[in-house]
Every structure is written in C-alpha cells, then in structure tokens.
Amino acid sequence: MLRYSVPAVGTVILFVSLACVGLAAAEPVAPPVELIEGLQSGQIWAQFWGAGDTGVSGVVGRAEGGPGGVTVAPGTQFWAQAAGRQGQTSLGSSRIDLGSSAYAQVWIPTACTNIGRPAPTAEDIMVPSPCPSQDMARLSRSLVLEGVHRPMVQVAVWAVANDPPARSLRRYLAEQARLSEGSLTADDIMYGAADLLRISGLDPAAYRMFR
C-alpha cells in the first residue's frame, strides 16, 4: 500500500504565505515613464509642495498597471499656485522608484525661476509642467550640484529663466557673500554662474546680467 506523508499544518501555511508574497512581488508593472507624460496619460498621480528655494517635496504614485519608475526630466518647471511665489526648475534628472511600492515620497532638487519673489513654502502647492525652453533644459542637464556653490547655480538659472539686469542681483549677491563668511564674493558668484552657462553650451554674453 502506498503511503503519503501529510505535512504539518504550519508547513502548509508557510508555503501558502510564501506563494502569496511571490505573487505580490511578481505583480506586473509598466516600464518607467517621464513625469509629465505619466500624469497626462493617467499612468501616475502626483502632488507637490514647496520646500524653500532648493527643492520641491511631494508624493508620486502609480495607477493600476502603472510604471515601476518615474523620471523627472531636467528643467521640469514647477509653478506655485499662490500668487507672488517663485516657480522652481528641476536640476539634473531625478528617478523615482515605484517597483516595490505603489507610491513614494520624493524630494526633487530645484532652483528658483522668478527673481524678486519669495520662495514657496510647504503651504504652497506646486504644479509640474514641461520645461519652458531648450536653454533651460540644456543648463539643467549639465548641472552637477556636488562641489558647486549654490548661489552660482541660482544666478545661472535666473539668467536663463528671467534674463534680469545685473542691478537686480545686488541685494542677493551681497547677502550670499555675507552668508559665506568670506569664502565667496559677489564677483565669485557671477564668474561661477557664467562658467556654468559655458559648460552647458550657452553664451553668458547673451544675458543682460553679464554684459
């Protein structure tokens, strides 16, 4: 007579549990999508808020069958919905992983794009939109934030976004030089910003602040 061994109840439960975990992990997801494209197609949802003058914070999630990741293209513009607040442009390219979770909390590095206005706060809703110009996309794509003084990045972004005259930067430059405690001067910041433009293939002389 053939005999069959019956596994212990605990073993059966463990096997079923592991199988369920495997099925959950194997849930199919679509390939990564760019943020604006994903929002327009309904593959993802997102909400963003201001986080000062160096970034925006937010939550990004995928719809059923949505992508396993989201990319934020260089120069993606985040517009403040409150009147009088600075918009923000994304710096470099950011990647958001949605492969292991249906949503993720994110922080995206940015610089301000509306000179003379206060930076957005956590109370300000920020709405993403495509990069407004090829020059901004080129500048953002080339920026490496490590080892670069932040005021230089900000001045370079304002040059492309607003093309302000040099006189409109005096207060900002003086304040940043003071905060640096002697490690930066106003001229250092301007020279550094001009170099960042050159690295991205843009001519500083095309912008009023450098003439």
Give ∠ CA 47-102-43 in degrees, rounded to 5: 65
pTM of the model: 0.83
Average of per-residue pLDDT values in the chain: 87
Instruction: Give the residue extent of every domain in the chain.
Output: 27-132, 133-211
pLDDT given for residue 110 in this prediction: 97
pLDDT at 19: 33
Query: What 3-state DSSP class applies to 40?
Result: helix
pLDDT tens digits along 20-68: 333 344 455 788 999 999 999 999 999 999 999 999 999 999 999 999 9
pLDDT of residue 1: 37
Condensed to tens digits (0 to 9), the pLDDT of residues 109-130 reads: 999 999 999 999 999 999 999 9
